[in-house]
Amino acid sequence: MVEGGRRFNSYAGYFRRRFGQRVQKVAINAGFTCPNRDGSLAVGGCTYCDNSAFNPSYCLPHKSITQQIDEGIAFHATHRYRKAQQYLAYFQAFSNTYAPLDVLRSVYGEALKHPQVAGIVVGTRPDCIDGEKLDYLAQLAQESYVAVEYGVESCYDRTLRRINRGHDFAAAARAIEATAQRDIGVGAHIILGLPGETKDDMLREAAILSAMPLTTVKFHQLQLIKNTVMAREFAEHPQDFVRFGVDEYVDFFVDFLERFNPNIVVERFAGEVPPRFLARSDWGLIRNEQLLALLDRRLEQRNTWQGKMWS
């Protein structure tokens, strides 16, 4: 059984152990872009991507970092997370280390000056980091909570090429290792259900990720967003995609958890996108809280837990 009585190593439990209370992320759009969009690597971005599908309405780059934090805190206080007293500034949109170090010092520094901000989480690509930036983040980590969340998406180079990521898995492995060596929290984002991958392919990723020095992993089921290349690809080649129903996905993820290192925190096991963005809605209006309850129940029914089959 995973520490704390729950059957998997949850993000909420991790922060209760770390801070002694609930801590909530507040998303920020600091106006960064991405080398996969601006022509440095490619244009058009990853085939599944539309940042507006997951960017909260208050996250607009013309607003200051402080204003976005204030509005984010007000939003959470009146909606879903009223109990949070401390917040993490989550630099979410696009690649948030894709700028000169002086720019990063300015935006991260402004966030950390906010009296209710306990730390920062920086979402970025593994090819948008270097030793100088990591050394700066390591300095910040001596005083505040700091984590870097890398978009890994898949452990297979053939998939990364197909979805136009612009980097290989080795780049992700190097970035994760370099970040962990500096005692910075390090996370990965993985999409389950990308084209060309079978269920067995996805299950094998549990062992690959388990061997890496990760603090957290955020898993999402593939969601097909309107007007993306991937939505068109699915319309033309649906046989290339594994599409999970809700119950099927929960059962699959239990299989995954059994093979997954219990020391790694599962930040999320599924994602939700506003229905207006979806090209195809297989799951209806089910919310993350409902999915989490289904996962807890299924783990109990099967009398299993994260890491049961991991060695």
Structure tokens at 136: 């700066």
Asked if pLDDT for residue 80 goes beyond 90, the answer is no
Number of domains comprising the chain: 1
Q: Check residue 253 and give its pLDDT.
A: 98
Q: Check residue 273 and give its pLDDT.
A: 80
Match 């593939």 to its residue by tokens: 222
For the segment 132-189, what is each residue's pLDDT rounded down to a tens digit?
999 999 999 999 999 999 999 999 999 999 999 989 999 999 999 999 999 999 999 9
Domain membership flag for residue 104:
yes
What is the rounded distance in angstroms from the CA atom of residue 174 to the CA atom of residue 194? 23
pLDDT band at 4 (very low <50, low <70, confident <90, very high): low
> What are the beta bridge partners of residue 216?
187, 265
What is the rounded distance in angstroms from the CA atom of residue 119 to the CA atom of residue 115? 11
What is the rounded distance in angstroms from the CA atom of residue 150 to the CA atom of residue 35? 14
**CATH code for position 117:** 3.20.20.70
Domain membership flag for residue 6:
no
Domain membership flag for residue 230:
yes
Domain membership flag for residue 243:
yes
For the segment 7-55, what is each residue's pLDDT rounded down to a tens digit?
999 998 999 899 888 899 999 999 998 888 877 887 778 888 876 656 6
**Mind giving me the DSSP string for 244-296?**
--HHHHHHHHHHHHHTS-TTSEEEES-----GGGBS--SSTT--HHHHHHHHH
- Domain boundaries, position 80: 11-301
Domain membership flag for residue 26:
yes
Domain membership flag for residue 310:
no
Domain membership flag for residue 307:
no
How much is the average pLDDT of 224-245? 93
The DSSP output letter for 199 is H
How much is the average pLDDT of 215-242? 94
Domain membership flag for residue 143:
yes
Quick one: 274 exposed, middle or buried, by C-beta within 10 A (0-12, 13-18, 19+)?
A: exposed
